Chain A
Amino acid sequence: MFQEPIVNEAIAKELGLLPEELDKIRTILGRNPNYTELSIFSVMWSEHCSYKNSIKYLKKLPRKGKHLLVEAGEENAGLVDIGDGWACAFKIESHNHPSAVEPYQGAATGVGGIHRDIFTMGARPVASLNSLRFGKLEDKRTQHLLKGVVKGIGDYGNCFGVPTVAGEVYFDPCYHDNPLVNAMSVGIVRVGETLSATSYGVGNPVYIVGSSTGKDGIHGATFASEELGEDAEEKIPSVQVGDPFQEKLLLEASLELVKTGAIIGMQDMGAAGITCSTSEMSAKGGHGMKIYLDKVPQRQKNMKPFEILLSESQERMLVVVKKGAEKDIEKVFEKWDLHCAIIGEVTEGGMLEYFMHGTPVASVPAEDLVLGGGAPVYDRAFSTPSYHAERDAFDINKIPQPQDLKEVAQKLIAHPNIASKRFIYRQYDSMVGVNNTSTNKPSDAAIIRIKGLKKGLAVTVDCNSKYVHADAYKGGLIAVTEAARNIVCSGATPVAITNCLNFGNPYDPEVYWNFVHALKGMGDACEKFETPVTGGNVSFYNQSPTRAVNPTPTIGMLGIIEDVEKSMSLNFKQAGHLIYMLGTHRNDIASSEYLSLVHDVSLSPAPHFDLEEAHALHSCILALIQDGLVESVHDVSEGGLFVTLLESAMTDDMGFDIHLAADIRKDAYLFGEAQNRVVVSVSPEQRAAFEAKMNIQYSPIGQVTKGAIIIDNQDWGQIKEWKSTYDTSIEKTLGIID
């Protein structure tokens, strides 16, 4: 028989709890916790579950809006009313630490977890997105991680049957030890047919459904809240194995369960497994539970109570069912070959009582475990990052202008941050579900039609962490604004965001300074664009002994397009169409890919940005699309204007003939990343109407050609040569093609 150790401060520390946290637990219980209870508190009060180091600032983000049916923190994901009787549930989440240890399974289970958050609300996932960050691509470890992560995301999502419609991938040395894997799921549900993660009704049975429970991922939530040290390899038991086939069955069964009307509440088992789902559902419903751990189907023999409670075995859900309706729901599970077992019942009061073979093993109040209840809330110290001095010393006039701009352009489009991510996205099924209209009509945000409706969804994920590192406030503003710009450029209206906040150790005052200021920037932009935050997650401790990752607040944005047929694409349509740039050309190369790649300057201020200017630009673009005055719309982002033009040209093998402005540095004109700029093409017949409509700064820059690229009357060759470099660069670095 396993002897639980007597709990003291040393043991609490081992489980990641501070001495004052142990004191708090003793006050709550009125006694010393036993080891099982301590384990429960340790996972529930980990950053991953409790947001103890972030909640103060998360609460300052705008979280209300006219479209919101479920606000941030209320359920597993936010829920947005999209009209016509439909709602959209969407959320982004990180799986960074598991992916660093086991890239394939880490990424796969990240995808699985976020989809479960969506379908346990009763919504059917219709689109997946992801945001990935790795170290330098030339590095062998990066290549191993990249291949594993991409295959993991692909294998899971492809089998599960939800298209991966968009994403972003960046390579930067700061992610060498801590890759970031952020996965987003978007689902739709009829208003009124959603499920809640709640529990009430004394005597109602509590079911566990899905895979049996093994020792995988025990203390995973605690693990995610620690730095990856030298001994990372030894924390191997934290790996979970995903089973997308089982998840597909769970999805179909869950959506059928909604129709039985017999469900009180349902929650996915992610971090902290049974502990988290029983406590969060009970706290929400204001009830307690008796849970008989020996009734939990187990994959291994002799599992200890805390192991069953903390296991993070994947593809499991907790379901509270109306008493008397057991047969109805068991029939659904049987139809889908899913194992289910009654493991307890709802009780009065708020106590969670766990038993093993009739013996009580833990007894804790649900409310004290959860965020918003008794979980601790901290306000960490922060101080201005010392590297700001180096940043402020940057002077564009000290950067020489290259003689051969064509050579620079060729180098830039071969860089993995700019080059085609074909190697990656080709491994994702982007078309299953026959709703992704962007396959044959590329646009800055992916457009998802909803069968039977005229309207559709627009979705994107964005964050340029280089900007956030340079200037956390401005970087936060830019991340939200870029997402909104992508939504707008595809013809849709931004509605709401979800965020995945990837940062280093919150106990580092400089890391925390960036956290606080990035959130402030995000919040201000969200206010301006009326896109409330509906939820997401915080991932701290993305930090190795040598350094923290760039502050990376990944923004997942949802937009609505009233008529999918009228979505806007990014590709040039016809030779002779006029090319305009909306916004202002600036002598700005700060924080650009060009600056770091060609001049090896990794630290400089964030590029130009102005929130009012952004807002006016977005309104103007939507009006132009609405009136049918533009043939293509594509925003200027990494790589600058040249890359934007090239991307617009490549789809249909077109080219462009442009003239640079005399008063702007040529490198800044072509490769600068000043924000709030968009390239449109206009047919000559619409020229007058287009120009009459313009109420913001803009300039004609040239016209579309049949394939020739001409810059200031210089022949830069044919689009096909450029496309070949752009398409194959990453594959060549990986050694997949010669």
Chain B
Amino acid sequence: MFIAEINVMPLKELLDPQGKAVEHGLANLGFNASKVRIGKRITLEIEASEETDAIAKVEEACKKLLHNPVMEYYEFTVSKV
């Protein structure tokens, strides 16, 4: 069994309205934060014989369902339970 931790983020070249609004909110509070971008974090457990197999499966899950290639990219780590 492997645990995957997946981050799905808006594509860097696309506008992230949510990130922009939050950046503005942070500025109001005196935080000088920049480049705020907001994505999703997904964790899941997956059965796999070995790590390469787990990576391939997670990769496929990301491609097929978890991210929208039009808007988002993803990155993930896989570790054995």
Contact = CB atoms under 8 A, between A and B. Distances in A.
Interface stretch (A132-140, A241-249, A528-536, A565-573): A241-249
A214 B15 contact: yes
Contacts of A337: 24
Nearest to A303: B13
Interface string B62-73: 000000111100
A458 to B, nearest CB: 34
Interface in A205-256: 211, 214-216, 236-237, 239, 241-243, 245-246
A313 B70 contact: no
B70 A243 contact: no
B15 A243 contact: yes
A314 interface: yes
B24 A243 contact: no
Contacts of A245: 17, 21
Contact of B15 (A101, A211, A237): A211
Contacts of B12: 300
Contact of A239 (B16, B20, B70): B70
Contacts of B15: 211, 214, 216, 241, 243, 299, 313-314
B14 interface: yes
A298 B50 CA distance: 45
Given A214-B14, A215-B13, A313-B15, A243 B20 contact: yes
Nearest to B69: A236
A299 B13 CA distance: 8
A299 B35 CA distance: 10
Contacts of A215: 13
Nearest to A236: B70
Nearest to A215: B13
Contacts of A648: none
B17 A102 contact: no
Interface centre among B12, B68, B69, B70 (most CB of A within 10 A): B70
Contact of B17 (A236, A237, A241): A241
Contacts of B24: 337
B71 A241 contact: yes
Interface centre among B12, B69, B71 (most CB of A within 10 A): B71
A148 B16 CA distance: 18
| Chain A interface residue bracket vs B | 20 to 34
A267 interface: no
Given A243-B20, A245-B21, A337-B24, A216 B70 contact: no
B14 A241 contact: yes
Contacts of B17: 241-243, 245-246
- Majority-rule SS of A interface residues: loop
A281 to B, nearest CB: 24
A105 interface: yes
- Majority-rule SS of B interface residues: loop
Interface centre among B16, B17, B21 (most CB of A within 10 A): B17
Contacts of B71: 102, 105, 239, 241
Nearest to B12: A300
A522 B14 CA distance: 40
Nearest to B20: A243
A428 B5 CA distance: 35
A215 B14 CA distance: 8
A101 B70 contact: yes
A237 B70 CA distance: 8
B53 to A, nearest CB: 27
Contact of B13 (A243, A300, A314): A300
Interface centre among A101, A236, A241 (most CB of B within 10 A): A241
A99 to B, nearest CB: 12
A299 B23 CA distance: 14
Contacts of B70: 101-102, 105, 236, 239
A211 B69 CA distance: 23
Contacts of A214: 13-15
B20 A216 contact: no
A236 B68 CA distance: 11
A270 to B, nearest CB: 16
B67 to A, nearest CB: 13
Interface string B1-36: 000000000101111110011001000000000000
Nearest to B14: A241
Contacts of B68: 102
A371 B72 CA distance: 37
Interface in A184-220: 211, 214-216
A216 B14 contact: yes
Contacts of B14: 214, 216, 239, 241
Contacts of A241: 10, 14-17, 71
Nearest to A216: B14
Nearest to B68: A102
Contacts of A239: 14, 70-71
Contacts of B69: 236
Nearest to B28: A337
A211 B12 CA distance: 16
Nearest to B17: A243
A241 B12 CA distance: 12
A242 B68 CA distance: 16
B5 to A, nearest CB: 26
Contacts of A313: 15
Nearest to A247: B17
B11 to A, nearest CB: 9
A314 B15 CA distance: 9
A241 B21 CA distance: 14
A561 to B, nearest CB: 38
Q: Which 3 residue pairs are nearest across A and B when measured between Cβ atoms?
A: A243-B17, A241-B15, A102-B70
Given A216-B15, A313-B15, 11 more contacts: A214-B14, A214-B15, A215-B13, A241-B16, A241-B17, A242-B17, A243-B20, A245-B17, A245-B21, A299-B13, A314-B15
27 contacts: A101-B70, A102-B68, A102-B71, A105-B70, A214-B13, A214-B15, A215-B13, A216-B13, A216-B14, A216-B15, A236-B70, A239-B14, A239-B70, A241-B10, A241-B14, A241-B16, A241-B71, A242-B17, A243-B15, A243-B20, A245-B17, A245-B21, A299-B15, A300-B12, A300-B13, A314-B15, A337-B24
